[in-house]
Structure 1
């Protein structure tokens, strides 16, 4: 059940960038990136940019900085690289740049994940926050995790959070 203490702006469309962080996926095999785009589109939001980047901190930071300068984007959704394996660097690249964090995002996501996958949820370093006036989400790369986080956290709050950033 989703609770909305304040109504969202009616008909507001959020323009999102979808960035898949992976050393192995291609546009054809990026099921999670495709799923994020599909779920956003189905709920009336737009995809202003989509790409894949290698799990290299400099490439991830560069992508975040470049996209945050674009006036046509409201939110950036990164997927992949949030675990603790040596090549999982998304959290490390993004966390240090965030000007504000939304600690509840990662906490609630891990709680929801725990209900689905058990104690392995502790390895997820999902994070959300604000950078240069843009909403930033970094989520695991598995399609099940993407579906869970989009449907239960990101989509229900996307309009509200972007409205707050815009001061409306």
Structure 2
């Protein structure tokens, strides 16, 4: 893999981290903390962090809560599988103005390389909402690490610049 040319972002972005879970709390949300840590290491700012239940209306409204704020990207973690309670994808995708299909495709490919055919159950997606990037990734720490290291951090600034052209 070609290393990212500049591991520290030349343009820090304001990001919101949202953990979608019926069981996580600030004390045990390892995935949310991991995302915030990756963002900080990459030179970005976490301007918001929330843990919300896996309820469609709550998930969808989270984008609206922040729409007038100086936010460049949302990273939702959790609720991207196929169980009955996994509703992040349906709740967010209807609000996206543009989908970035390559994100989900690459995430599943990279997941397949490490966990095999179970990767097909991931519904990770990314897109654009009101000139803000939106990523929906699994809530597992392995999934977070993969998405942040291999896909989100290397392209976050570039994608943010592209959607504002």
TM-score normalised by L of structure 1: 0.93
State whether residues 35 and 146 of structure 1, in contact with CA within 8 Å, keep that contact through their aligned partners in structure 2: yes
What CA deviation, in whole Å up to 9, does each residue of 1:58-95 have, x standing for no partner? 0000111212331x110000000000100000001011
* 1:2 corresponding residue in structure 2: 2
Deviation at 1:39, TM superposition (A): 0.6
Q: Please state if 1:121 is matched with 2:126.
A: no
State whether residues 55 and 87 of structure 1, in contact with CA within 8 Å, keep that contact through their aligned partners in structure 2: yes
Deviation at 1:133, TM superposition (A): 1.1
* 2:67 corresponding residue in structure 1: 68
CA distance in 2, matches of 1:45, 1:101: 23
Q: Please state if 1:153 is matched with 2:151.
A: yes
- Could you tell me which runs of 5 or more consecutive residues in structure 2 were left unpaired when the two chains were aligned: none
CA distance in 1, matches of 2:83, 2:152: 25
CA distance in 2, matches of 1:47, 1:18: 7
- SS of the residue 2:24 aligns to: coil
* 1:104 corresponding residue in structure 2: 102
Deviation at 1:164, TM superposition (A): 1.4
- SS of the residue 1:16 aligns to: strand
* 2:161 corresponding residue in structure 1: 163
- SS of the residue 1:77 aligns to: strand
- Could you tell me which runs of 5 or more consecutive residues in structure 1 were left unpaired when the two chains were aligned: none
> Where do 4+ consecutive residues of structure 1 move more than 2 Å?
none
* 1:27 corresponding residue in structure 2: 26
* 1:83 corresponding residue in structure 2: 81
* 1:45 corresponding residue in structure 2: 44
- The Cα RMSD (Å) is 1.7
CA distance in 2, matches of 1:97, 1:166: 18
State whether residues 69 and 132 of structure 1, in contact with CA within 8 Å, keep that contact through their aligned partners in structure 2: no
- SS of the residue 1:44 aligns to: coil
Deviation at 1:3, TM superposition (A): 7.1
Aligned residues: 164
Deviation at 1:163, TM superposition (A): 1.1
